[in-house]
């Protein structure tokens, strides 16, 4: 296991985990503390996952990086577009969406559009 590649993820994940535990135990903020503890644990697990991968399996190909950049750019603007449409529709025709439904819709569309764009550029290529 080579920790040089994921050292910052393990350090930052541990700091976030400690901060979440302080919020949870000392300040008695259960919901916020558990969310921050969960994000710290996820970052630590991501670091362990990347440290365990062999160097030959890590894609550092220029094409792969460019496809992710292009897919991320297009997914960002798709997400902003959906956010604008939902905002204007909710303003002029009240849908009764609360924040959680609104947020989950926008995040879901953003993640789905990133994967669709990445699949598209992986098949088509880029220019």
pLDDT tens-digit readout, 26-41: 888 788 888 888 888 9
Domain end (from 40, 56, 72): 56
Whether residue 49 is found in the same domain as residue 65: no
pTM of the model: 0.51
**What is the Rg, in whole angstroms, of the alpha carbon atoms belonging to the chain?**
19
- Collapsing DSSP states into helix, strand and coil, what is residue 96? coil
**Which structural domain range is residue 84 located in?**
59-124
For 37-86, the pLDDT digits (tens) are: 888 898 888 888 777 776 666 566 777 888 888 888 999 999 998 888 88
Query: Which tokens belong to 69?
Result: 């950049």
> What's the rounded Cα separation, in Å, for the pair 127 and 120?
13
Q: How far is Cα 35 from Cα 39, in angstroms, rounded to an integer?
A: 6
Q: Does residue 84 form part of some domain?
A: yes
Return the structure tokens found at 95: 């849908």
Same domain, 77 and 43: no
Number of domains forming the structure of the chain? 2
pLDDT exceeds 80 at position 3 = no
């Amino acid at each position: 296991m080579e920790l040089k590649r994921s050292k910052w993820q393990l350090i930052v994940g541990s700091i976030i985990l400690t901060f979440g535990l302080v919020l949870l135990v000392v300040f008695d903020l259960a919901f916020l503390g558990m969310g921050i503890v969960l994000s710290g644990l996820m970052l630590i697990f991501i670091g362990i996952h990347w440290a365990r991968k062999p160097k030959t399996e890590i894609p550092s190909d220029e094409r792969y990086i460019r496809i992710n950049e292009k897919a991320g750019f297009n997914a960002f603007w798709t997400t902003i577009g959906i956010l604008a449409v939902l905002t204007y529709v909710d303003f002029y025709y009240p849908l009764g969406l609360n924040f959680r439904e609104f947020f989950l819709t926008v995040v879901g569309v953003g993640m789905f559009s990133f994967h669709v764009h990445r699949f598209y550029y992986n098949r088509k290529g880029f220019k």
